[in-house]
Amino acid sequence: MELEQSARMREEDSYLANVFQRYPVELVRGKGAYVWDSTGKEYIDFMAGYGVALVGHCNERIVSAIKAQAERLITCHCSCYNDVRLELLRRLVSVAPKGLNKVFFCNSGAEACEAAMKIARRYTKRHGIVAATNSFHGKTMGALSVTHASKYRDPFKPLLDGVHFVPYGNAERLEALLEEDGSAGKSIGAVILEPIQGEGGINVPEDGYLPRVREICDRYGVLLILDEIQSGLGRTGRLWASEHWGVVPDVMCIAKGMAGGVPMGAVIARHDVMDALKVGEHSNTFGGNPLASAAAYATLECIIEDGLVENAAGIGRYLKDGLLALKERHRVVRDVRGLGLMLGVELRFDVKDVLMDGIAHGLLMLYSGRNVLRLLPPLVIDEDIASRALSLLDTLLSREERRRGL
């Protein structure tokens, strides 16, 4: 379905860099799992700012924390100490995977991956890194180097050298590569993986994969970096997606919803790994600022104290069961996959028409590649919202089948 742009949308396009896949909707307000456009139309938001509205739009805890901190101190560079930053550090380390107790703050997921790669190189003194096919770690030059899609990579080559890609889910290929590298003198220092691939299609590995990768990395003296930017902080029904398989990384990247919508990212690592960086070797201006720290602390409190991890697990099962039922009814659906509230619906055709039709019917969704609907709703959704979304999807899939003559 083609939706017409308003004059205001066209004006924004005239100023903004033409680098975003844009949706013809002007959002002006949000609350919980709902957003409203400039005409007052309501939408169920299963886009959530690409997963950023993790604890819901304008969550009261986050709003109160931001208001209070904005009246005290907005900026404080990490060259100075800060009370709110310390509180966040204590809380973050207390819930991080066991043994990860040193933190570097930044402003986004791509920045977190950049920092993790530098940390790994500094610690191991090796420049090589292994990533997976269908991976996505960001679009800055270093993060792009370990992002697999050629449509992102090719226009900006040459990228970092020493990057190797192995099939996601295939531990044997990883082991063979590290064995070959060891025979050639050990240039590879790290492996970077998403526990569940997001942009690549909501790909969930088989149960033995991540534990095997952990064992292989230990055996070959290679750091394991897990990118939990999209999958972490409760989205999959565990606080960290790696917990589903009992795996603890050496380095972990987080971002997206960690500050309830305020830009923030972080790298959490073992202290010996993080301490490989020396003063001045990596820093930034805004990382760990008091405003973002206050929002992030409130976000963690919300996730843990309000039971959002458990809600993601329970409502995630309800939603996935509903999606599987839709798969049985609609020939256009090829597969349903994911954990918790990180779900993908693979169609037999391009999803663009379904996405645009969703906007017309009041449901905002994402895509992963050309044919996967990506659902990243706020963790505050309940069965009523999930049921409404399933009903809308049922309608959208029926309309798509009629368009396709199925």
Residues belonging to the active site: 136, 227, 256
Question: What contacts 339, CB < 8 A, 6 or more positions away?
Answer: 196, 204, 236, 237, 241, 244, 316
Rounded Cα distance between 135 and 258, Å, is: 21
First to last CA, the chain: 17
Q: Is 96 exposed, middle or buried (0-12, 13-18, 19+ CB in 10 A)?
A: buried
Determine contact, residues 271/104, Cβ cutoff 8 Å: no
Rounded Cα distance between 242 and 239, Å, is: 9
Of 347, 312, 331, 390, which Cα lies nearest the Cα of 44?
Answer: 390
Would you put residue 183 in left (φ > 0), alpha (ψ -120 to 50) or beta?
Answer: alpha
Rounded Cα distance between 44 and 36, Å, is: 9
Backbone angles phi, psi at 157, to 5 degrees: -70, 150
